[in-house]
Amino acid sequence: ETGVTQTPRHLVMGMTNKKSLKCEQHLGHNAMYWYKQSAKKPLELMFVYSLEERVENNSVPSRFSPECPNSSHLFLHLHTLQPEDSALYLCASSQGGATGKLANTEAFFGQGTRLTVV
Amino acid sequence: AQSVAQPEDQVNVAEGNPLTVKCTYSVSGNPYLFWYVQYPNRGLQFLLKYITGDNLVKGSYGFEAEFNKSQTSFHLKKPSALVSDSALYFCAVRDIDNYGQNFVFGPGTRLSVLP
């Protein structure tokens, strides 16, 4: 256990469904991330939240909608996905500051949600 | 912009032999460098990091990494490989220009340790 918990571990959804991925961290970190990992592709950073504010959105399609209600929880809301969105979605957390302090701390990852869009 | 390269998609090594997984980076300021390991259908697990100080960094499970500033490299090493070390390995650099938030990962290297 790394202190970052993702649910569900596996999800199969149709292209017209709406679902949400959940991430919870128990490490007292102030930054949380969503990454997408596809077969034969490097890890793709999707969203970054710092102190509950979104600081990064890497041109992610609007069918992915993040939500960070507090520093311990992160959601990824999914709707009208495409089959190419099938991937392992990883949540991570770390310490990070607005001035770059604590940038020397590592990120802790959850186990991931294996998403299949049919 | 920061970037990380892992020139080998796959590394094969016999059990008991030393292993090296290569990583080179590009960063504008001082690099904060990390190695992670990923087992099938799992998240990434932290192995070790270089921040400052000694160029040889020791981490979990007997792994170590050598920071070489002139070659902008941060190769992962282990003196004697185990079959259980077979996994996907990622090198990462932290982007301190962007308020220190983002981790930039390399494409990964698949390590196979043969019995």
For residues B27-40, give the mean pLDDT.
89
Of A54-58, A79-83, B42-46, B67-71, the one with minimum mean pLDDT is A54-58
Pairing of strands A113-117, A10-13: parallel
Query: Percent of chain B at pLDDT above 70?
Result: 94
Chain B residues 83-102 with a CB less than 8 Å from chain A:
90, 94, 96-102
* Token pair in block for residue A75: 């959601």
The answer on pLDDT for A101 being more than 70 is no
Chain B residues in contact with A90 by the CB 8 A cut-off are 43-44
pLDDT at A98: 45
In one-letter notation, the amino acid at residue A15 is M
| Statement: residue A99 has pLDDT above 70 | no
Mean pLDDT of A22-49: 90
Q: Which residue has better confidence, B80 or A101?
A: B80
B100 confidence band (pLDDT: 50, 70, 90): low
Average pLDDT over residues B87-107: 81
Confidence of residue B66 (pLDDT cuts 50, 70, 90): very high
* Cβ-nearest to A100 among B34, B100, B108: B100
Chain A CA closest to residue B33 = A104
Q: Work out the end-to-end distance of chain B between its first and last CA atoms, rounded to an integer number of angstroms.
A: 41
Neighbours of B20 (CB within 10 A): 14
The partner residue sitting opposite B44, judged by closest CB among A55, A94, A109, is A109
Task: Look at A96 and B46 and tell me if their CB atoms are within 8 Å.
Answer: no
CB spacing of A42 vs B36 below 8 angstroms? no
Exposure string for B76-110, b = 16+ CB within 10 A, e = fewer: bebeebeeebbbbbbbbbbbbebbbbbbbbbbbbe
